[in-house]
Amino acid sequence: QVQLVESGGGLVQAGGSLRLSCAASGSIFGFNVMGWYRRVPGKQRELVAAINSDDATNYSDSVTGRFAISRGYAKNTVYLQMNSLKPEDTAVYYCNIATISLGGNYWGQGTQVTVSS
């Protein structure tokens, strides 16, 4: 079992920055992918950014050049640095880890990000 604890959401003006953090605990051995997704009411949850155990990253087109995903030294923490925020970035952001070797897929509780215009 894996537990994910997120932090760092909040209210920010357009053009501002926020940094989300997600700490994973439990069985996360082997190759895994950690990522951030977001959901806007009435829409499906979408991938924002992901990073694997080899530190390869992937971003949605809407955040490329503005957001940066990274992992902590111990590889059990993932960060999302969000710069040049736009009102359309407003959503609940969810941390996810897919433990490829173990076949698990886990979600955090979500953190609200609100960008005012």
Q: Assess whether pLDDT exceeds 80 at residue 29.
A: no
Average pLDDT over residues 10-31: 92
Q: Determine what percent of the chain is predicted with pLDDT higher than 70.
A: 100
CB 97 within 8 A of CB 73: no
Q: Burial, 97: exposed, middle or buried (Cβ in 10 Å; 0-12, 13-18, 19+)?
A: buried
Q: Which long-range contacts (CB under 8 A, 24 or more apart) does 70-75 make?
A: 71/34
DSSP code for 30: S
Name beta bridge partners: 77.
23
Average pLDDT, the chain: 94
Chain segment 35-83, per-residue pLDDT in tens: 999 999 899 999 999 999 999 999 999 999 999 999 987 788 999 999 9
Q: How confident is the model at residue 98 (pLDDT cuts 50, 70, 90)?
A: very high
